[in-house]
Amino acid sequence: MNWFFAIVRIAGVSFPGAASMVQLQTELDGHALTERVRKLEDSISLLHEDVPTLSGRFYEIISKTDYNKIKFGAEEYSRFSRAIAVLAKIGLIQCQHALGKQFPRGIYVSDPSYIMYLCERFEESQKMELLVQYLEQCKIGKWLKGKNIAHELELPNPVVAACFKIYAEKGYGQCSRESGAISYCGRA
């Protein structure tokens, strides 16, 4: 089919109907480019066909429980087993296995970048913008209390903790190492 469109482009508008074929080729090229960009922008969703649905389920549970540990029943584990395996293999989640058990005892949604992926897909952007604004405006030596921010913005604690970790990994601040604390201190 590429040969056909190559000839149509050469013929241009010299022949009746060729102009509409050139327009069709342009639209097809635009669609192909859009699809390629989508794959680059959302590479996680393309890991497995069930990843978008599973990710939505993860975020739903995180939002309800305010915790990043997910427990599924056997039916959900069976349904999403391949998507879970793919996400675990590349380190976006961690499965807690037990000897003699067919399914994991729990799944930890632990990677901050994956949590941001979840937020991009399932959280209100204005809440995330406000959270980033807190971090961007954090002065050197100032502590941000993540649980207070999460409550104020109505975001799950794991989301705030993930943002803190991302900024800390960049060297802009540090996260509290106190057990159960979600705090961040600006350093730059």
Taking the domains of the chain in order of start, what are their residue ranges? 2-41, 51-112, 124-186
pLDDT of residue 149: 97
d(CA 101, CA 42): 33
pLDDT of residue 97: 87
pLDDT of residue 10: 55
Q: How many residues does the chain have?
A: 188
CATH of domain 124-186: 1.10.10.10
pLDDT of residue 141: 96
d(CA 163, CA 112): 7
Give the start-end residues of each E strand in 58-142.
69-70, 93-96, 106-109
Does this model's pTM top 0.85? My answer is no
pLDDT of residue 11: 53
pLDDT of residue 44: 87
In this structure, are residues 163 and 132 in contact, taking their beta carbons and an 8 Å threshold?
Answer: yes
d(CA 95, CA 75): 16
In this structure, are residues 80 and 54 in contact, taking their beta carbons and an 8 Å threshold?
Answer: yes
d(CA 173, CA 48): 35
Residues of the chain with pLDDT under 70: 1-42
pLDDT of residue 136: 94
- Residue 22, helix vs strand vs coil: helix
In this structure, are residues 149 and 134 in contact, taking their beta carbons and an 8 Å threshold?
Answer: yes
d(CA 67, CA 180): 11
